[in-house]
Amino acid sequence: MSDKKREHKSNVENGEKSNSLIRKSPPPSYKQSTTKTVYIQPVALGSKSQSVICPACRETIVTIIEYETSSKTHYAAIALCCFFWPIAYLPYCIDSCKNANHYCPNCESYIGTYAN
């Protein structure tokens, strides 16, 4: 047997060995890029529902409004209670005396508040 042949044989053996070995590769790491900058333009919100671009789903939507009693609502009620108590409850009934919270109808994310 010549040296060349022996060399060839050993190469084949090595090749077969490495093929039979099951190499467990580490699971691919999913790197989340946090460098992505999202520019959200401040939206001027009113007391009524309006058309805006939702910062969460990027859709042009008409906001859903939920009115929330603000501290001003309470002050107005207290003031009315002192001067003209029969209508002291009025600020709680009038939406314009409350804060308007704007929500996205698509993804239901909070967009902003119009503070009275």
* Binding residues vs Zn ion (CB under 5 A): 54, 56-57, 104, 106-107
Q: How far is the CB of 14 from Zn ion (least distance, A)?
A: 59
Provide the token pair at 44: 């001027």
Closest CA to 77 of 64, 65, 93, 59: 93
CB atoms within 10 A of CB 99: 19
Which is closer to Zn ion, CB of 8 or CB of 58?
Answer: 58
Closest CA to 50 of 40, 60, 39: 60
Q: How far is the CB of 94 from Zn ion (least distance, A)?
A: 29
DSSP state of 107: T
Q: How far is the CB of 17 from Zn ion (least distance, A)?
A: 57
Q: Where are the alpha helices (DSSP H) in 1-116?
A: 3-20, 71-83, 90-93
Q: How far is the CB of 36 from Zn ion (least distance, A)?
A: 18
